[in-house]
Every structure is written in C-alpha cells, then in structure tokens.
Amino acid sequence: MSRVLRLIAILLAISAGSALANTAADETGFVGKPSPAFDARDIAGNPVGSAKLFGEGKVVVLNFWGLRCGACLEEMPTLNALQDRHKDAVVVLGVNNDGIDAAFLARQIEKGGLKIRYTVIPDPEMKLVDLFKMTLAPLTLVMDPKGTVRYRHENYVSGDEVELEAVVRSILEGK
C-alpha cells in the first residue's frame, strides 16, 4: 500500500474513532506474544530500538498518535503523567503517524504548543504503523520488561488512563 493510501486510511480511521470507541479484544493477536523487533530514531535523531529498551528491564508504553487527532492530543497529558510517575521503571514512546519527517514534526509540535515529556518518534514511512498494525489512533501498547505485549488499546476517552495505569502497575508489581 502506498504511503499516501496508508495515510488516508489512518485519517479515515481516526475520524471514525468516536463511532468505534474502545476495542476490548485484541484482534491483531499481539497480546501475550513477544513484541515485534523495531529500530527507529527519535525526533532528535537518537536511535531507539526494542533490543536496547527491553535490555534495560523497563516497561515500554508505545503510543501511536497524530497531530490532527483530538483523542491523541487529549491523551498526551495522561502519558506525560505516566512517564513522570514511573520515570525510573517505564519508558513512554510516542510514535507520530502523520507520515512527516522529524524536522517538520518538531516545528508542528512547537507551533501547536504541545508539551510532550516523553520520547517522540517520527514514522514518515509508516514502518512502525504497519509493524504494529495500527488502524485507529491513538493506539497504545504496553510491553513488559521481557518484551511481551501485555496490553493493546485503540482510541482514548477520559477514564482510559485508569486502565492503563492499572496495567502498568500490575507489570511493575510482578503480577
């Protein structure tokens, strides 16, 4: 699928997000299985990869978001707070799914006054979007320190942060 068609499909899915609401079932089959291996660069050009992340023994929260996604922007403070509360044990990664490069993304984040205190990863070629089978934004996955996907959730409505926090705490407490 071309990059433009993928972007159109994602934008349509985002606009339909409120109708789809939350998806409780993991139709992709990720939950309970090892996370796909990935390598990327953050917005500053630093390498970010699954091998290093899981080697550090931290919980990884992978959140796919877009600049024009209202639910994504609404969820950002929740992710900031999660990162702040668990900074020594959790890594939050925000993968941008707008199909734009790092320089343009950085300008848009600044222009929009977005306050993001976790690692931002541009995905201009939609490689991570495809790898993690994103169909609706925001998409949040939580992986335990061994790299097993323990949670996958599409969309965001106020209150979803309670479930996300519970999942993270459960992993941190070894449950």
Checking if the pLDDT of 5 tops 60, the result is: no
What pTM, to 2 d.p., does this model score? 0.84
Angle among Cα 172, 173, 174 to the nearest 5 degrees reads 90
Residue-wise pLDDT for 131-158, tens only, equals 999 999 999 999 999 999 999 999 999 9
Q: If one looks up domain 3-21+32-172 in CATH, what number appears?
A: 3.40.30.10
What are the boundaries of each domain within the chain? 3-21+32-172
Q: pLDDT category, 29, cuts 50, 70, 90?
A: confident
> Are β-strands 90-96 and 119-122 bridged in parallel, bridged antiparallel, or unpaired?
parallel
CA 98, CA 100: separation in Å to the nearest integer?
Answer: 6
Q: Are the C-beta atoms of 82 and 164 separated by less than 8 Å?
A: yes
Taking the C-alpha atoms of residue 136 and residue 12, their distance in angstroms, rounded to an integer, is 9
Of the given ranges (10-14, 64-68, 128-132, 136-140), which has the lowest mean pLDDT? Answer: 10-14
Is the pLDDT score of 21 beyond 80?
no
